[in-house]
Amino acid sequence: MNSTFTTILRTILGLALLVFGANKLYPFIPIFDMAPAAANFMDSLQSTGYVLYVVALLEIIIGFMLVFKKFVPFALILLAPIALNILLFHIFLDVSGILVAVIIVAINGILIYKYWKTYRPLFQ
């Protein structure tokens, strides 16, 4: 769990979550043209007034947990449904950004595998 490889992956994932979470709150990365279905979906999430903020705050909190190595197994499990939804959004609505989504899901999966001993009691 404390290998250099795990540390690098955990840090990369944490920093990515911090950047993308902060970008949801205060946009600083330009958003390129999205497919109409993706734009409609994002507009509907924005119009709720809370969904994007909750997701952004969760991403930032999880990012800090990963970067500072606090409650990492818990952070990875919290991230799993978010990462899956990011991947599904890009598969079904906006294929152009699928590379980042695949990387996030892959790193999350690898880290969950690396911390599997922590999760083992959940399945007994």
Query: How many Å apart are CA 91 and CA 66, to the nearest integer?
Result: 26
pLDDT band at 74 (very low <50, low <70, confident <90, very high): very high
Count of domains for the chain: 1
DSSP label at residue 69: T
Residue 42 has pLDDT above 80, yes or no: yes
CA distance 89 to 75: 21
Contacts of 78 (CB under 8 A, 6+ apart): 58, 62
Tens of pLDDT, residue by residue over 80-111, are: 999 999 999 999 998 888 999 999 999 999 99
Please give the single-letter amino acid code of residue 93: L
- Sole residue written with tokens 């507009």: 43
pTM: 0.91
The domain in which residue 109 lies consists of: 4-123
| Token digits of residue 38 | 């993706």
Mean pLDDT of the chain: 92
Query: For residues 64 and 79, is the Cβ–Cβ distance under 8 A?
Result: no
State the pLDDT at residue 33: 79
